[in-house]
A and B are shown apart, each in its own frame.
Chain A
């Protein structure tokens, strides 16, 4: 089982991300959970959301404390939230940032795999808004290989309707433009 924690700010669509990622895995016949950090949300405040993915039925229903993967939608969170808390040493940290994986490694002290992409730039170009949730789905798919990127098209279409093709394009660009490296 792979456990994923997403960090974002209220209004940036972290909950939509976990929903889309869970639905993509389910679309492939896998088992998955997607859930928010339970409770009220305020626009702009740090929020977390979670995914579990497995090939068999998932029974555990507690929170996620030792994720295999962390996705950061908003780089400004990194100065206020310890995004690598509990992240397994051999895990993956994926950040929307202009910085390189090496720079993120230095900032966070994380020694596992680090992947970065300028998702805000991609989202601004493709969607016209710096909302990076669907863009970062592409980054997560590339870094983890948990699901095929094509499998996301149905859930994105159901969710975004006529805006789906632009979200798919943003997601695909992040998939291609992601920089991955093992940090020192």
Chain B
């Protein structure tokens, strides 16, 4: 039976991961995800989890160790943030190309510089094109649920890809709140043990991660793209099963107050919760505004997006990262591109907010909706702005 608990979300994430019985955990602490591996190392040291906890000397090694472990058929887990994730960069596309179903939790934090330990989503956006499944949690409950779902999705025979699960650093990692924690029997019944296709073993030699010459490389990339796109079906199946077993709904895009919405916000991660408060207040005042919470970032939910924006006149994409010298934030770029060839599409604008821990308040969303209301009449000159820049 699930139990209602109060706990810091990072610790709850560690507890949820432990329920998944990972066999190898390799991690290097970095703020703000530190409490996740730290608590897992406690759980292992206390004898509650039979796993190899590898204290590595860097994040590059953490992910390398996970790759090796996953190659032998072990269920492998790691967690990191910001520069730690950046330091893994060399290994990240290798993990997906080798079809190693590693689960990584990212406590999202700004990339330096200037040096900043606080929340935004520039770290994961830097890894956008690496071939991992990528999902965002909005609150503590979703962190627990999606941690468990991630292993099942990653290890499914039709997927066999690494997953990164994103939760906003501090805004989520460091908050104590109530959550439902499933028990071991429930998780065991939901998550079968990992059955790899091939394993590294000295008695039965296989090669993994070999050279791909030009005559095979296009095909290899096509295969990697296909498997990531096709993982959508498994993700939806796992979420359906989760709904049946635990009663909580997960969708690639969660719609809030979208009925009759002329203006809609698109959010990723914890700011969606605060945005929801703003949308609820504005709806009471008669403003036809709704909210779309983008949960599944890769594979990108094109179908769901096109369906969700039907009837919307102005769509405001909220980004927590900048694509410098590019077309706006990464989510904006994706959303607008997804809708470009649609015959009936909303005007798409972009607000880049909450960078490096800048607080995002209910009234900020109200102001953004006011701007969108003006855009209903007169299209703004600029595609995007970094919201709240002093002196602008």
Residues of A within 8 A of B187 (CB): none
Is there an interface contact between A38 and B273, defined as CB atoms closer than 8 Å? no
The answer for the CA separation of A26 and B12 in the assembled complex, in Å, is: 15
Is there an interface contact between B178 and A59, defined as CB atoms closer than 8 Å? no
Residues of A within 8 A of B273 (CB): 59-61
The answer for the CA separation of A38 and B110 in the assembled complex, in Å, is: 14
A58 sits at the interface (CB 8 A): yes
Using A26-B6, A38-B170 as known contacts, say yes or no to A18 and B117 having CB atoms under 8 A apart: no
Q: Mark B218-232, 1 if CB is under 8 A from A, else 0.
A: 000000000000000
Is there an interface contact between B176 and A23, defined as CB atoms closer than 8 Å? yes
The answer for the CA separation of A62 and B358 in the assembled complex, in Å, is: 10
Q: Mark B253-270, 1 if CB is under 8 A from A, else 0.
A: 000000000000000001
The answer for the CA separation of A150 and B6 in the assembled complex, in Å, is: 17
Interface size on A, as a range, is 20 to 34
Using A22-B176, A23-B6 as known contacts, say yes or no to A39 and B274 having CB atoms under 8 A apart: no
Q: Mark B357-385, 1 if CB is under 8 A from A, else 0.
A: 10111100000000000000000000000
* B124-179 residues at the A interface, CB under 8 angstroms: 170-172, 174-178
Residues of A within 8 A of B171 (CB): 38, 61
Q: Which of A29, A38, A40, A58 interacts with B174 by CB under 8 Å? A: A38
Interface size on B, as a range, is 20 to 34
Shortest B371–chain A CB gap in Å is 19
Q: Which of B5, B8, B271, B357 interacts with A19 by CB under 8 Å? A: B8
Residues of B within 8 A of A27 (CB): 6
* A118-150 residues at the B interface, CB under 8 angstroms: none
Using A27-B6, A61-B274, A62-B361 as known contacts, say yes or no to A22 and B177 having CB atoms under 8 A apart: yes
The answer for the CA separation of A60 and B171 in the assembled complex, in Å, is: 10
Chain A residue at smallest Cβ distance from B276: A59
Q: Which of B170, B178, B271, B362 interacts with A31 by CB under 8 Å? A: B178
Shortest A147–chain B CB gap in Å is 12
A63 sits at the interface (CB 8 A): yes
Shortest B76–chain A CB gap in Å is 30
Shortest A23–chain B CB gap in Å is 4
The answer for the CA separation of A33 and B9 in the assembled complex, in Å, is: 11
Shortest B238–chain A CB gap in Å is 24
Main secondary structure of the interface of A (DSSP, over half): mixed
Chain B residue at smallest Cβ distance from A23: B6
The answer for the CA separation of A23 and B6 in the assembled complex, in Å, is: 6
Is there an interface contact between B360 and A34, defined as CB atoms closer than 8 Å? no
B277 sits at the interface (CB 8 A): yes
Is there an interface contact between A39 and B118, defined as CB atoms closer than 8 Å? yes
Is there an interface contact between B6 and A59, defined as CB atoms closer than 8 Å? no
Chain A residue at smallest Cβ distance from B364: A62
Q: Mark B321-343, 1 if CB is under 8 A from A, else 0.
A: 00000000000000000000000
Is there an interface contact between B274 and A35, defined as CB atoms closer than 8 Å? no
Residues of A within 8 A of B172 (CB): 61
Is there an interface contact between B8 and A38, defined as CB atoms closer than 8 Å? no
Chain A residue at smallest Cβ distance from B8: A19
Is there an interface contact between A40 and B117, defined as CB atoms closer than 8 Å? yes
The answer for the CA separation of A65 and B357 in the assembled complex, in Å, is: 16
Is there an interface contact between B6 and A61, defined as CB atoms closer than 8 Å? no
Q: Which of A32, A33, A62 interacts with B359 by CB under 8 Å? A: A62
Q: Mark B271-300, 1 if CB is under 8 A from A, else 0.
A: 101101100000000000000000000000
Residues of B within 8 A of A34 (CB): 175-177
Is there an interface contact between B359 and A26, defined as CB atoms closer than 8 Å? no
* B1-54 residues at the A interface, CB under 8 angstroms: 4-6, 8, 32
Shortest A143–chain B CB gap in Å is 21
A67 sits at the interface (CB 8 A): no
Residues of B within 8 A of A19 (CB): 8, 176
The answer for the CA separation of A58 and B280 in the assembled complex, in Å, is: 13
Residues of A within 8 A of B175 (CB): 33-35, 61
A-B contact pairs, 25 of them (CB 8 A): A19-B8, A19-B176, A22-B177, A23-B6, A23-B176, A26-B4, A31-B177, A32-B6, A32-B177, A33-B177, A35-B170, A36-B174, A38-B32, A38-B118, A38-B174, A38-B357, A39-B117, A39-B170, A40-B117, A59-B273, A60-B274, A61-B172, A61-B175, A61-B273, A63-B359
- Enumerate the 8 nearest inter-chain pairs by beta-carbon distance, A residue then B residue, closest first: A26-B6, A38-B170, A34-B176, A62-B361, A59-B273, A23-B6, A22-B176, A26-B178
User: Known contacts A34-B177, A60-B277; can you find 14 more A-B pairs with CB under 8 A?
Assistant: A26-B6, A31-B177, A31-B178, A38-B32, A38-B119, A38-B170, A38-B171, A38-B357, A60-B273, A60-B274, A60-B362, A61-B270, A61-B273, A155-B6
Which residues of B line the A interface, CB within 8 A? 4-6, 8, 32, 117-119, 170-172, 174-178, 270-271, 273-274, 276-277, 357, 359-362
